[in-house]
Amino acid sequence: MSVVSRSGALGSADSIETRASWIVAPTALTIYAVSFGAPVITVVALKPIAAELGSARSVPALAYSLAWLGSAVGGIAMGRLAERIGVRWTVIFGALMIGTGLAVSSGGGRIGLFVGHGVFIGLLGNAGINAPLYIYVSQWFDRRRGTALALISSGQYVAGAIWPPLFEREIDAFGWRHTMLIYAAVEILAIVPAAALVFGPAPEALRGPGAASGPVAGARVLGLPADLALGLLCLAAFLCCVPMAMPQGHLVAFCSDIGIPAAQGAEMLSLLLGCAFVSRQFWGVVADRIGGLRTILAGSACQLGAMLGFLLTQDEAGLFLVAAAFGLGFSGIIPAYVLAVRELFPAAEASWRIPTVLLCSGSGMAAGGWLAGVIFDYAGFYGAAFAAGILFNAFHLVVIGTLVWRQRRRAPGRDASRPDAARAPA
């Protein structure tokens, strides 16, 4: 029996939120902060890994991208599995696989790095944690779902804020291979007990399908067939995550190239992701007020402005400001996608629709990190990569702007009673 199952009942008749909901959410936040620390080692050690393996920077960049891609691809199966056996077990399994992946990555060359990151850290590891926890936490909230999703998804940025300076010092003292082994032990010891103690059945799942108000199966979404609407959301998720990944995956190396020490680059990355954590809480409150789609559009516009800053600035102080602005701007986008899915589609379909969108966002993160490395290897500087990211961001604004326009065009509740039309978000 879990801690939360003993600490609170389902809640009032009109809400599933309880005190237990606010035990589950911070626990998920902590687990994300630890699990997503694993691939950050490769970001901080990008140049040492490339030098030791006698390879281009695109090799460690590809390993980092494979971790994201594996997590995204595996999320669909893990979301269904968590629905059957419980999220507690997929999270525990994922933690053990991340530890295994770090060990595999530390012990081999290029193949070991790719297999460790792509298969173990991504496909079997974070896949068992990322999408299942998004679905699970969304089942504990209805009134403040956007706020809760923003909180837990901030774990990725907590990881990015806390770990890079520590990894940089540890890599300098012990090397990147030993750093991976040490972190493997830390990660397993932190996640496994927390998941075992806290993650019990969610109240929305216990109430059963149809107990809560919301979209119904077979309804059109924004006047479109449901699968077409989901396809456009998936395309948008891919497009926005390509530029999102570029500064996160290459900022330390970019700083080193223009004469800024790696230690300052790591601190800059920590600032970027620390600002993302703080602002994500703001974006969560905004999403609860204006909805998921409009939040995505606003965040994407802010991300585009910050990407222009990376393209135009090479001064250290200026880059610290741009990094902070980038973190403040883009951070609300991913949880807003999850919220949009919950607003637009039936709750019973969340176990596969949410991982499908996250598959595309994770694929975009993977493509962005890899593409920046490839463009650098070809062009010899990161400005060309950032320019490509700006183009992807511009296309994203077109796609998501179209969906927002369709949402505004349809009066709230206009088609709620029609079986072939989308119901208004609850």
Q: What are the pLDDT digits (tens) for 65-79?
A: 889 888 888 988 999
What was the pLDDT predicted at 270? 81
pLDDT higher than threshold 70 for residue 12: no
Q: Is residue 421 classed as helix, strand or coil in its secondary structure?
A: coil
Split at pLDDT 50, 70, 90, the class of 412 is low
CB 253 within 8 A of CB 244: no
Cβ–Cβ < 8 Å for 270, 264 = no
User: Taking the complete model, does pTM exceed 0.85, yes or no?
Assistant: no
Class of domain 11-409 as given by CATH: mainly alpha
Q: Which residue has the higher pLDDT, 250 or 91?
A: 91
Q: Which residue has the higher pLDDT, 377 or 291?
A: 291
pLDDT score recorded for residue 31: 97
The most confident of 114-128, 243-257, 307-321, by mean pLDDT: 114-128
Q: What is the mean pLDDT of the chain?
A: 86
User: Residue 20: is its pLDDT beyond 80?
Assistant: yes
172: helix, strand or coil? helix
How far apart (Å, rounded) are the C-alpha atoms in residues 281 and 262?
A: 29
Taking residues 394-417, what's their average pLDDT?
79
Instruction: Name the DSSP letter for residue 126.
Output: G
* Cα angle for residues 287, 191, 17 (degrees, 5° grid): 40
Residue 224 φ then ψ, to 5°:
-115, 155
Q: Which of these ranges, 125-129, 155-159, 224-228, 405-409, has the smallest mean pLDDT?
A: 155-159
Task: Please give the Cα distance from 42 to 48 (Å, whole number).
Answer: 9
Please give the Cα distance from 204 to 163 (Å, whole number): 35
pLDDT band at residue 166 using 50, 70 and 90 as cut-offs: very high
Mean pLDDT value across residues 250-270: 83
User: CA quadruple 25, 27, 31, 33: dihedral positive or negative?
Assistant: positive
pLDDT value of position 207: 61
Listed residue (230, 215, 142) closest to 413, CA to CA = 215
Q: Please write the tens of the pLDDT for every residue from 320-374.
A: 999 999 988 888 898 999 999 999 999 889 889 999 998 898 888 878 888 888 8
Predicted local confidence at residue 415, as pLDDT: 42
pLDDT for residue 422 is more than 60: no
φ, ψ dihedrals at 221, nearest 5°: -120, 115
pLDDT per residue over 23-78, tens digit each? Answer: 999 999 999 999 999 999 998 888 888 888 876 777 888 888 889 888 888 988 99
The DSSP call for residue 125 is I
Q: What is the pLDDT of residue 426?
A: 35
Q: What is the pLDDT of residues 80-118, one digit of tens each?
A: 999 899 999 999 999 999 999 999 999 878 899 999 999
Other C-beta atoms within 10 Å of 5: how many? 14
What CA–CA distance (Å, rounded) separates 196 from 193? 5
pLDDT confidence bin for 190, thresholds 50/70/90:
very high
Lookup: tokens for 300: 């994407």
- According to the model, what pLDDT value does residue 299 have? 93
Give the pLDDT band (50/70/90) at residue 417.
Answer: very low
